[in-house]
Amino acid sequence: MEWQQLELIAKVPPEKRALAMMETTEWVLAGLRGAMRKRHPEWSQRELNLRVLAYVTPLRGITVEELLRRWD
């Protein structure tokens, strides 16, 4: 990032920066969800969401399959 960009970002109020980060996160997750849905149309919405979450969040000691079995 260039200094000019950092200066511009610094002038934006914190709540607007946080909102922009949350909107970007939603956009990225929607893209992942769409890509996974194309590859695996057989997955339920619940399974798809869990797998997207597992992709972006490290799961320690548990697999998506175990989570799905627990919540059936």
Backbone φ and ψ for 35, nearest 5 degrees, come out as: -65, -40
Summarize the confidence of residues 49-54 as an average pLDDT.
Answer: 90
Angle of CA points 42, 46, 49, to nearest 5°:
95
Q: Give residue 23's domain range.
A: 16-70
Query: Per the structure, how many domains does the chain have?
Result: 1
d(CA 47, CA 7): 42
DSSP H stretches of helix in 1-72: 3-11, 14-39, 45-56, 64-70
Of the candidates 64, 66, 38, 70, the one whose C-alpha atom is nearest the C-alpha of residue 52 is 64
pLDDT, tens digit, for every residue of 1-42?
688 888 888 899 999 999 999 999 999 999 999 999 999 999
- The verdict on residue 39 lying in a domain is yes
- The verdict on residue 34 lying in a domain is yes
